[in-house]
Amino acid sequence: MGDIRRRTVVALGVTSLVAPLTLALGATPAQAASCTTTAGPYQKQVEKFLGRPVDGKQSSADCKAIRAFQTKHGITPNIGYAGPVTWGVMNLMNKQKAVGKNPNKSGKCPVNKGRIACVDLTLQLSWIQDGKKLVFGPVPVRTGRDGYETRTGLKKIYWRNIDHVSTIYDVPMPYSQFFDGGQAFHSAGVSMWNPPGSHGCVNMTKTDAKKYWSLLKNGDDVYVYGRKPGT
């Protein structure tokens, strides 16, 4: 939870491809400071996602676009390499977009509980519904990384603290709504697609965390299901 400071150099990824990123350049992430000229294994997919000419060849413009995406979402090393971590983030974004306004199409989040906050770990999405009515969302979230997984099951919000600070990691957790021990909804100052994930909390943007704060209260149900890719 509250994972803002501690990040691994090579992310575990948001797809099942969790192997460390191997660079043909042979440079370590700490040494890498400029764009790579090497095409990555997901070059065409990444080019298509970014609206670049899809030729599978790395150009300086390709690298600049890829690097900007990596920098924005905290993907390291940010040298413009179209590797599995970068494509994993993009692929997840595509899947999230495809959900549209029907996040509970599978019916996995209970519709007989009244107002409930749903968390789909597989798609890294959350929303609030009331029966079959979508109240808010879906919105992208950032859940627990490998070894710190957000626990699944039906839970209830039991404590709320708008200005909470983590006693474990000494980092701010604004708009915290705890539903399972130390695991909570709260805002985080990183991209929701920043790998590898949180220390168990459901990270949200400040805007979404504030909305959840206004819509939920102590005693409201939370249902977490699925499995975060890479865990």
197 in Cβ contact with 92 (< 8 Å): no
Q: How many CA atoms lie within 13 A of 134 on its CB side?
A: 14
Among the listed residues 73, 164, 186, 199, the single catalytic one is 186
**Share in percent of the chain as helix, strand, coil (round to 5):** 20, 25, 55
* String of DSSP letters for 59-74: -HHHHHHHHHHHHHTT
* String of DSSP letters for 70-111: HHHTT-SS-S----HHHHHHHHHHHHHHHHTT-TTTT--S-S
Active-site residue, 201 included: yes
| CA 161 – CA 163 distance, rounded (Å) | 6
Active-site residue, 118 included: no
Element (H, E) at 165: strand 159-165
Catalytic residues: 186, 201
